[in-house]
Chains A and B, each alone.
Chain A
């Protein structure tokens, strides 16, 4: 089936099998491997992207369901070689160790900061409850999001 999807501002048109998951479309068709495949069961959040500005888990969507949508992946955040404040925050505050969960964490945090410019630590933890990290213990992730929130205000 033919789909028209805008990925990080670039309109694309691709023929996809109806059963292709959106995460595989991004990785294997669009060649954007920053979106990770983790648990594949809607729990871990590693595959989180923005669809029309909202965080979604791309392992639990079909590519055909995104027909006509505007998607943003981790690759779409940096502008003109400048890291997005959240990317910078994760760097500055050591918000990652192995980095596997990081793209999903950041995309979920982008969704949060678009809705809430001044979140409490508790609100950050609540907004990221759909994203699992096995390295950091989350504290540094919360600090990284606070860093970005502060910088973006």
Chain B
């Protein structure tokens, strides 16, 4: 399988990439690790006339702590995120999502920015980025802007990015004491993508009740989403089994669930409820530490 022909351009900096994007506009696609884009191109589902390779742009490949935030460059690979002591310590759900993507060969190439910009409805990262309330920094000809995770995923393979923009980095507030998070997934056995994946974050208040609850769900609908019904049902409650189960029961509320040969819509909805409960339980276990 060969991709259709294209013109190849190598960017050496974000500035370079933006200039090339401006020049080629809608006919261009950014190429980073290529593990979302190249499979689409080989199947001729995507046939961009110009590829702008940002794989060698060093300024996109850093994980850093800046101003109290953990900032992860778009070009950081899944394996780097999974292995990062900083991410494992302060954004555990994100490290868990990264570690469960594909296989080691895929994790060595695929990047955070590539996966988010592709917005596959069954990708792992979106659930974690939603639950951890990541902020996506986009840079374009008009300047930079920051988009909250819940506004970033618009629809199937569609994000809030404009065609002339590049995804620079995602920043997160690190997990505070008394807060726990987790990402759990049921993989589709052939592809490894999430039939359903759920990331949960819970903060316990001084009285031991759930002060803050954030739940991100992937694989269930046309885009990853925050399960607002679960969050509001558990907020303010004591983290007891009944309350957790009652809240998790809302995981698929209002979602038009995907259905295919791997899982019916009903089964996916049930998986979402079960994995939401388990992810909340796991996050709670980690609050205690």
Contact = CB atoms under 8 A, between A and B. Distances in A.
Nearest to B41: A19
Interface stretch (A37-45, A86-94, A143-151): A37-45
B105 A48 contact: yes
Given A18-B51, A40-B42, A61 B109 contact: yes
B104 A65 contact: no
Given A61-B38, A108-B105, A130-B104, A40 B1 contact: yes
Nearest to A54: B108
Q: How large is the interface on A (under 10, 10 to 19, 20 to 34, 35 or more residues)?
A: 20 to 34
Interface in A4-61: 17-21, 40-43, 45, 48, 51, 54-57, 60-61
Nearest to A107: B105
A1 interface: yes
Interface in B37-65: 38-39, 42, 51, 53, 55
A114 to B, nearest CB: 12
A65 B55 contact: yes
Interface string A47-80: 0100100111100111011010000000000000
B4 interface: yes
B39 to A, nearest CB: 6
Contact of B106 (A1, A51, A130): A130
Given A18-B7, A19-B3, A40-B1, A64 B53 contact: yes
Contacts of B191: 43
B259 to A, nearest CB: 23
Contacts of A54: 79, 108
Given A19-B3, A60-B39, A42 B108 contact: no
Contacts of B4: 19
Given A40-B1, A64-B53, A65-B55, 7 more contacts: A1-B8, A19-B6, A42-B35, A55-B105, A56-B109, A60-B38, A127-B104
